[in-house]
Structure 1
Amino acid sequence: MSDLFTITAEPLAPTIESARKALKRYYGYDSFRPMQEDIIRNILAGKDTVVLMPTGGGKSICFQIPAVVSEGTCIVVSPLIALMKDQVEALKGNGIPAAYINSSVGQSEANDIARQAVGGQLKLLYVSPEKLLSEGFLQFLRRVNISLFAIDEAHCISSWGHDFRPEYTQLSALRRHFPGTPIMALTATADRLTKRDIITQLEMHEPRVFLSSFDRPNINLIVRPGQNRVDGVLDFIARHPGEPGIIYCLSRKQCETLCAKLTAKGLKAGHYHAGMTPLQRGKVQEAFLQDDLQVIVATIAFGMGIDKSNVRWVIHYNLPKNIEGYYQEIGRAGRDGAPATAVLFYSFADVMQMREMVTKDVPARQAQLNTAKLERMQQFAEAASCRRKILLNYFSESLGQDCNNCDICRNPPTTFDGTLIAQKALSAAARSRERVAINLLIDILRGMRNQAVLSGGYDQIKTYGAGSDLPYLDWYSYVHQMLNDGLFYIAYEEGYALKITERGQQVLKGQLTLNLKKFQPAEKAEKPTRASKKAAADAAAVFTGTPEARLFEQLRKLRKQIADEQGVPPYVVFSDATLQEMAVEQPSSRVAMLAVSGVGMKKFDTYGEAFIKVILEHGTPKAIPSEDAVEVAAPRPRAAAKSAASATDVNDSEDATFQLHRLGLSPEAIAERRGLVVSTVRQHLERAYAKGLDLRVHDFVTDSQLAEIVTARAQLGGEPALRDLFDHLREKYDYFQLRLAVLYHKRLRGQA
């Protein structure tokens, strides 16, 4: 028997302490993420559990660790072959015995896997719902000592969900056949109704529901006008050289056409859609997972459950049909926690096209639901307030302050005090006993005398006609802004009635004020000029000469070489986040390498020495004590030390700050890591840029902001003082932004 299957079962009553030890031994992490430990405690106590956690939030750990420390085998129900394959390869790479049975596995291999499961040699067995429910499989499972059932992508069980799959509705058979075995349901996207369906249809016994924050603060959210999309895509990729990404298109033809344009520009791109054969799709997906392709251009057929942790960006070429799907798709970027970007191209024509698609050949109830969800997606694209707040409000979560990592926060629109308008709408909803949908609420506010208003007696309520001074489109915009801001939610199961939230009650009672964006009809976006294109190209230069950046690239090459030799995706060896930490910390011993997050015992034994060798060949590693001996350097004379420090310490400190910036850390994160104040970090970055190093200026000042600052300088004439520029722009930008903009402009003109 292979040493892969030498894992030792824990005692009959595993503890959270044994779970922590398993986390360190097999995954290389020192502690659980928020909520993971509570989830694991609940399942180890034999209780049914529902986990609502965003993509990249660590859902898999929640059932994999209990499986490792418990007697028996965890049966994981997963909808996609690719997901099973990836997770099983990752588990084996960590030293955990796992396997999968689905349509891609031959009968002889399936028989071998079944014998291992019956013999207690597997900790996790992944199966598709179709296989699980096939004739004889449930009878086979009776011979297996099952520790728990984990239902992944559990939103597929609900007709209210965005990815309903009929075969999932039969999973209630698990409760009937295995009444004493705990069930864990996991999903990254579930609204209120979907969560209720999951619990009901799986016949769960008083499950504890764990709702993790859906906030993915590392993802930069951007919406761009729908004109000139190809140029926009090419410009974006030029700014992110070598970074893997996914582009989602509406149609198969779009996928192929855009992919051809990208490859014509020399990019390593492939397309993926349901019209391709399984073999063709498999080759493209494998090439992307292996980092042989940088870009996948795909329909939504691609990506569900793809466990590639180093996807750095996701582009939506067209408007998605609902927020659940959009959220899940952007969640495929930045799963390693490093900075990532989500770009959505939007035009009103997309709405019309998508409306036709979601209402064609479907029952009236489903068409109405699809239309309502599409309208919420449209309002997200047209938002006037923090986009992350809107996403989180949709999933019944509040964000206390603006995120400062979306295009709206970086360039907020002009707003006005809309508290009175909001109170009129909230009052009309309350006096209508929260039974009316958006259009009827607007009719009541505007004093319409149609059948729906009169038959409901709504012409008799106090706020009837209270908003007659505003046209329909204005009210439509303001009510949707209130939805986005969490004052209302839509009860789809009650005829799409608007319900007032606690936040809405606070606005209604005058306890909170509300700013609204003045409604303006959509206008065509300006086409990029030749000058703006050149400025974008100049800003796309990426600095790769820092020691950490060079080491990171060497480690990536080694990872790719090992992955190709073993036939696994590179991220199965180590994630980008782990390699970045290696590049910064430069571990040169077993103890130091095991201290890197993501390096467990199995992975160190398999890969550790090879990576240490590359680090040592790169240059002198940081002084980290080895496990065998600690060398104590002889003290230097104080005067000599002070003299050397005066010559090098400042530069070294600035270089260290800049290297962390190049690895994607924000000034706040750098300050926390280095024990500095943020203002000092900003000074370091500004000096680095002044020296000619290629700072990611657009992390701090957008193209439109740069243009505004440059225009203001021209209006003042000559070389205006920063104080004059600050006052002229009415304190809109801080001095750090102004100084970067001035340097940027000088570099474009060849003056710096």
Structure 2
Amino acid sequence: MTSRAQAVLRDVFGHQAFRPGQAAVIEAILDNRHVLAVMPTGAGKSLCFQVPALVRGGLTVVVSPLVALMQDQVAALRLCGVAADSINSGKRRAENVATWRRVVAGEIRLLYMAPERLMTEPMLAALAKLPLTLLAIDEAHCISQWGHGFRPEYADLCRLHDVFPQAPILALTATADAVTRDDIARQLLRGRIERVVQGFDRPNIHLSVQMKRNWKRQLLDILARHQNESGIVYCLSRKKTEAVAALLQEEGFRALPYHAAMDQTAREAHQNTFITEQAVIMVATIAFGMGIDKADVRFVVHTDLPGTMEAYYQEIGRAGRDSGAAEAHMLYGLGDLRMRRQFIEDQASSPERKRQEHKRLDALLGYCESPSCRRIPLLAYFGEESEPCGNCDICHHPAPCLDGTDAARQVLEAVHQSGQRYGAAHVIDIVYGSLTEKVRRAGHERLESFGTGKGRGKNQWRSLIRQMVATGLLRLDIGGYGSLMITPKGRGLQGGEETFFYREDVVAPSPPFPEPSSNGRKTKASQTVPAEEPLSDEQGDLLASLKALRLHLAKQRGVPAYIIFPDRTLLDMARRCPRTKEEFAQVNGVGTVKLRDFAEPFLAAIAAKVPPSSNPQL
């Protein structure tokens, strides 16, 4: 890593060292190589293009899907003294014109734009005349037709390689399975890329899933375990968001709604309250979360089935960013499943695309129905192997399971005999003995496996196959037509080296949750990711004062509170209790400009709260 990059990291952004993966990405870009970076939510993806943008000079163009996210990143960069701006539909034309003039004059280092604005012929022609030194594409999974959030306007970005052959391209995403990663590399970067894929595991997050029975009662029971803690409750609709927030308020929780239909002023006020204050529950649609950096989110609850495994992973990743113990709870029901299926069918997309989305939903359902450790299918979906984690509901309270080895063997034989080219529906028709037109056309009624499983209903076979995928006996080829493929573990079962146990009744009440999180909990997760020592009472009081000051300064500047300083910076401040500017400069996240602008008020707040004779570190 160049000394210049290290200096930018320290002096501009106030960090002493790069986080895992960041240095490899930045080094490749500075070597003028294209990079695909897959990094978990909260891993610091933005620094991967912000640091090289300042080292390389010239203009860096950042493609971002959301206007609000652009505006927040621009505001954060400006507070660090970086010349950044955006051209977007949320600004008046005169403002966008003024921004472009500064770009042409060489006064802007980072320019944020949505893909549809960037990929107009006039904009591309104008940018071609400028010293463009880097193209960064955030949420790059939207490029891929296999990606869970495919957007047609993103697909056009694949022309950037030809339009700007001299500029390295950085594609960033937190949620891309192996098929999506390959497609991004092929389309956007023509295969000539450096891949940096960080591990997907968040071992400090306890995972649990419950089938809905009385979801309001279940939700309240979950939250009773999280008194005086901050968290996020995700709901499928705006109407439900409002209703759940009202329910929680009636029950004595400090709960705030957040969805796209709310007035922007109200949304920003709720967001600031959540970031700044303790024991606040944000009840939200998926409109909430992107770019939010709150370290002490102790829980995330889904009151409805998420859309995909990628969305679920991204949303639970907003918990436990301080590496402390956190929990992710999901409630799902058959009504959710029907609604999700209907959403897919209602999309204005091709039959092939709909087929892919149904397979993704099947993978998520397999995770929900998993008969063994939940982390195994979650990580397997992203191409990682895992041992039982010791930090999920099934590891703590194993579900009653039945020996399904013989049934699994019947499925594997049907998959094998039909050439590993068909999806679950066709395989079930073979095993069940359904003489469909597709079965007749393929001649599969003549297979030895045809009709060997008539003793089970088709719904039972569907659940069993999902659990076989979840436990690694079968692999779902989402990049093809959702074909089932036999894994090495599946071949082991065929050869008598493996067994398979499955959950027959996933609607049965789930076992109780473990005791509330504590630093002393003996789990694989707590041993793998040691959490920082909790704040003392005195440090906690100081942190509350620092958050209040942060909110005051944010309101003065008209920006979200976390843009002044993220939570992790205030936590470090409360622990260090700096008394001088020199000590304040050592706080993580305090660069040169923020030292100049914010040292005085924060040092004064610390001095007022903690007398010189006292030190909250002791």
Answer yes or no: same fold by TM over 0.5: yes
Alignment of 1:622-701 (within 5 A): none
In 1, Cα distance between the equivalents of 2:141 and 2:378? 18
Q: Cα–Cα, structure 1 residues 240 and 553, in superposed 2: closer, same or farther, change >3 Å?
A: farther
**Cα contact 2:276–2:551 (8 A) shared by 1:** yes
Matched position secondary structure for 2:399: coil
Residues 1:607 and 2:594 aligned together: no
Aligned twin of 1:725? none
Residue pairs, 1:403-552, within 5 angstroms: 403-415=389-401, 421-446=407-432, 450-461=436-447, 472-509=458-495, 513-520=498-505, 522-523=507-508, 546-552=537-543
The structure, 1 or 2, with the larger RCO (C-alpha pairs under 8 Å, 6+ apart) is: 2
Aligned to 2:85: 99
1:270–1:293 Cα contact (<8 Å) kept: no
Deviation at residue 204 of structure 1 after TM alignment: 3.7
Preserved contact between residue 323 and residue 377 of structure 1 (Cα < 8 Å): yes
Tell me the distance in 2 between the aligned counterparts of 1:59 and 1:514.
Answer: 41
Match of 1:141 in 2: 127
CA drift of 1:241 comes to 4.8
Residue 211 of structure 2 contacts residue 333 of structure 2 at CA under 8 Å; is this kept in 1?
yes
1:575 paired to 2:574 = no
Q: 2-side partners of 1:290 and 1:139: how far apart?
A: 44
Q: Does 1:171 align with 2:157?
A: yes
2:588 maps to which residue?
597
Measured after TM superposition, the shift of residue 216 of structure 1 is 2.0
C-alpha distance in structure 1 between counterparts of 2:409 and 2:615, whole Å? 60
**In the alignment, residue 519 of structure 1 is paired with which amino acid?**
E
Paired amino acid for 1:168: Y
* Aligned mates of 1:604, 1:338 — CA distance in 2: 28
Deviation at 1:486, TM superposition (A): 2.8
Q: Unaligned 5+ residue runs, structure 2?
A: 517-533
Alignment coverage as a number of residue pairs: 597
Distance 2:248 2:152 in 1: 37
The AA in structure 2 aligned to 1:46 is N
1:482-525 deviation line (CA, Å, top 9, x unaligned) = 211233221234332112334444554555x3452341262467
Mapping 1:81-96, distance limit 5 Å: 81-96=67-82
> In the aligned structure 1, how far is the partner of 2:263 from the partner of 2:555?
24
The residue aligned with 2:522 is none
| Contact 2:360/2:478 (<8 A) preserved | no
The match for 2:553 among 542, 548, 562 is 562
Aligned to 2:172, the other structure's residue is in SS state strand
Q: Distance in 2 between matches of 1:606 and 1:585?
A: 19
CA–CA separation in structure 2 for the residues paired with 1:342 and 1:39: 30
Name the stretch that deviates more: 405-414 or 577-586: 577-586
User: 2-side partners of 1:169 and 1:488: how far apart?
Assistant: 31
**Pair 288,546 (structure 1): closer, same or farther in 2 beyond 3 Å:** closer
Tell me, in whole angstroms, the C-alpha distance in 2 between the residues paired with 1:311 and 1:119: 43
Q: Give the letter for the 1:108 counterpart.
A: A
Summarize deviations over 1:259-285 as a string: whole Å, max 9, x none: 333344455544344445666656655
Q: Is the 8 A contact 2:294 2:567 kept in 1?
A: no
Post-superposition shift, 1:291?
5.3
Q: CA deviation at 1:39?
A: 1.4
TM-superposition CA deviations, 1:692-712 (whole Å, max 9, x none): xxxxxxxxxxxxxxxxxxxxx
Contact 1:268 1:292 in 2 (8 A): no
Quote the residue 2:175 is aligned against.
Answer: 189
Tell me: CA distance 1:302–1:551, structure 2 relative to 1, closer, same or farther (3 Å): closer
Q: Distance in 1 between matches of 2:536 and 2:434?
A: 67
Verify the 8 A CA contact 1:51 1:211 in the aligned structure 2: yes
Q: 1:135 to 1:451 in 2, by over 3 A?
A: closer
Match of 1:388 in 2: 375
User: Which residue is 2:365 aligned to?
Assistant: 378
Residue number in structure 1 paired with 2:530: none
Measured against aligned partners, the alpha-carbon deviations of 1:401-434 in whole angstroms (never above 9, x if no partner) come to 2223322222222346655654554344233321
Letter of the 1:321 counterpart: G
Which string of whole-angstrom CA distances, capped at 9 and with x for unpartnered residues, describes residues 440-485 of structure 1?
A: 3334445555554454344555555665665544443332222112
Partners of 1:103 and 1:71 lie apart in 2 by: 27
Deviation at 1:180, TM superposition (A): 1.4
- CA distance in structure 2 between the aligned counterparts of 1:579 and 1:586, rounded to whole angstroms: 10
Q: Any idea what SS the aligned residue of 1:76 has? A: strand
CA separation in 1, counterparts of 2:47 and 2:145? 27
Query: What is the CA distance between 1:185 and its match in structure 2?
Result: 1.0
AA of the residue aligned to 1:618: V
Mean Cα displacement is larger for which, 470-479 or 314-323? 470-479
TM norm structure 2: 0.85
SS at match of 1:55: coil
Q: Corresponding residue for 1:122?
A: 108
Task: Measure, in 1, the Cα distance between the counterparts of 2:294 and 2:69.
Answer: 10
- The one of 73, 77, 80 equivalent to 2:63 is 77
Q: Is the 8 A contact 1:310 1:575 kept in 2?
A: no
Residues 448 and 465 in structure 1, CA contact (< 8 A), matched pair in contact too: yes
| Alignment partner of 1:323 is 2:309 | yes
CA spacing shift, 1:38–1:605, aligned 2, 3 Å: same
Change (3 A) 1:582 1:446: same
Kindly indicate whether residue 40 of structure 2 is the aligned counterpart of residue 54 of structure 1.
yes
Give SS of 1:344's match.
strand
Alignment correspondent of 2:610 = 618
Counterpart in 2 of 1:43?
Answer: 29
How far is the alpha carbon of 1:113 from its aligned partner? 2.5
- Within 2, Cα distance between the matches of 1:201 and 1:332? 30
User: Following TM superposition, by how much is the alpha carbon of 1:316 offset from its aligned partner in structure 2, in angstroms?
Assistant: 1.5
CA–CA distance in 2 between the matches of 1:216 and 1:586?
30
For structure 1, list consecutive stretches of 5 or more residues without a partner in the other structure. Answer: 1-14, 537-542, 625-655, 657-752
Letter of the 1:365 partner, please give it: E
